[in-house]
Amino acid sequence: MSCFSSADESAHYGFSVCLLLQQYRDQLRWEDEGVVELGTGDASVIAEVVRRLPGLRVRGYDISEDSVERAMENVAGRGVGDRYTVELGDFFDQADSAGSAPVSTVIANPPYIPAPDRHIRMPELWGGVYGNDLVLALLKAGYDNVIVAVPSYADPLTTVSTAADLGYRVANFLAMGLDYGRYSSEPKVAEHIRRLCAEGRGWAGEHEYMVAVALFTRNPEVPGDRSAQLLRALQMSV
C-alpha cells in the first residue's frame, strides 16, 4: 500500500492548520487539551506544524499499518515524538476511548475523492459517492472544533448545511485552487465529478478545483460565521 502524496495540497493543508491553530490559540485551548487527528498519512505535514508550535500536542490515528510506520519515522526524524503520537486503529473507535482526557479540537485532511464506488485507482482516497462521508462523520462525532479540508467538488453545500444543523459555524478558512492530480483525473472519477457539479453538488473547472481548510466551531468564544464566504470561495452559489 502506498501513501498518497500531493505537495501543493499538503503544503496548503499544513500552513492552514498552523495558522488557524495560532489565530485561535486561546479559544481552542489546545495548549491545555491537545488535539486529535483523523488520518495521519505519513505525518510529515502535521509533524512540521507540531515543530512550529511548541505548545501543541497531537494524538493521531490511521487505519493503515504502512502509514503508521512511516508516520512514526517522520515524527521521530523531526524530533517531536514527545508531543506527536501516532496509533494504528479506527479514529472513531479509539479517539474518545475511556480514560482519555477530553479534547475539543480535531484536525483532518480526510479522503475526499467522489466516485460511485471505491474501485478507483487508489481506494484509500475514496470519500463516498459525494466525497464528504468522512467530513460528515467527523462533524457528527461531537467535537466542538473541527479543522478540516473541504474540496469544491465534494458536495460542500451539504457539508456546510449539515454543520449548521449540528450547531457549527465556519469561523474562518483558507482556500486555494488546485489542479487535478492523477487520482482526480482518472476517467471514472472525472466523469463522476462532472455529474455532481451538473447536479449542483460541487464545482470544478476543466482541470481544476478549489479546496479550503476550514474551522467549524460550536465554541461561543470563537466569533463570527463565514459559512457563506466559504461557499463562495468554493465557487458555490449561495
CATH number of the CATH domain containing 152: 3.40.50.150
Does some domain include residue 1? no
Does some domain include residue 2? no
**Nine-digit cell string for 12:** 496548503
Average pLDDT over residues 194-206: 96
Per-residue pLDDT of 105-156, as tens digits, reads: 999 999 999 999 999 999 999 999 999 999 999 999 999 999 999 999 999 9
Residue 201 contacts residue 139 (beta carbons within 8 Å): no
Does some domain include residue 63? yes
User: Above 90 in pLDDT, residue 82?
Assistant: yes
| SS3 per residue for 137-193 | HHHCCCCCEEEEEEECCCCHHHHHHHHHHCCCEEEEEEEEEEECCCCCCCHHHHHHH
Note down the domain range covering 83: 7-233
Angstrom distance (rounded) from CA 10 to CA 204: 19
Does some domain include residue 210? yes
User: Above 70 in pLDDT, residue 170?
Assistant: yes
Looking at the 3D structure of the chain, how many domains does it have?
1
Q: What is the three-class DSSP state of 198?
A: helix
> What does the pLDDT read at residue 6?
66
Per-residue pLDDT of 2-50, as tens digits, reads: 444 567 899 999 999 999 999 999 999 999 999 999 999 999 999 999 9
**Nine-digit cell string for 118:** 471505491
Residue 148 contacts residue 214 (beta carbons within 8 Å): yes
